[in-house]
Amino acid sequence: MSDSLEFKYDVDGEDFTRVGHASTDIKKKLKMIGIAPDIVRRVSIAIYEGEINMVIHAYGGEITVEISEDDIKMVLKDKGPGIPDIEKAMTAGYSTASENVRNLGFGAGMGLPNMKKYTDSIDIETEIGVGTTVTMHVHLT
C-alpha cells in the first residue's frame, strides 16, 4: 500500500443515539484493509471517544482518517466552545459533562485520557469560542 487512503465523516451533534457511526465504519474499513486487530481496536476506541466528545461538548464536527504505509492519522475538528484547561481535561476522572450525559453512560472523565492511552501521539489545538482540533497518530510499524 504505497498511496495513502483518506476517509471523511461528519458527526451529527444533535443525536446522541447515532454517535459511533464513524468509528463503526472506520473499524470495518481497517479490518478490510487487513490492519492488525489490536491496532484496529485502538484506532476505533480513540475515534469513538472523540466522536462522543464532539457530540457531548461541541455540537458535532468532522473526522478525517488518513491511512498511509506506516501510520494512521486521525483529525477530529469541531467548532465547539473550546477547552479552557487542557491539562485538567486530560486528567482521568475530570469531567464537565452534564448529568444527562452521565445517564447515557459517558462523562466519566475518561474520554481524552482514553484517546491518549490508545494512540501513539495526541495533539490538541483549542481556542475558546472557536473550536478544537485533536490530531492523533497510531503507528503501523
111 makes contact with other proteins (CB under 8 A): yes
Q: 74 phi and psi, to 5 degrees?
A: -120, 125
- 30, 114, 119, 136: residue in contact with other proteins (rule CB under 8 A): 114
78 makes contact with other proteins (CB under 8 A): no
- 4, 5, 6, 18: residue in contact with other proteins (rule CB under 8 A): 18
Closest to other proteins by CB, 19 or 72: 19
Alpha carbon 42 to chain centroid distance? 11
In one-letter notation, the amino acid at residue 98 is: S
Asked if 61 contacts 134 with a C-beta cutoff of 8 angstroms, the reply is no
Closest to other proteins by CB, 27 or 77: 27
Q: x-or-dash pattern for other proteins, window 20-59, by CB under 8 A?
A: x--xx--x---------x---x--xx--xx--x-------
Supply 9's cell numbers. Answer: 465523516
Q: Parallel, antiparallel, or unpaired for β 60-67 and 71-78?
A: antiparallel
116 makes contact with other proteins (CB under 8 A): no
Strand order in the sheet with 121-127: 5-12, 60-67, 71-78, 131-139, 121-127
Instruction: By CB under 8 A, name the binding residues for other proteins.
Output: 16-20, 23-24, 27, 37, 41, 44-45, 48-49, 52, 92, 104-111, 113-114, 117
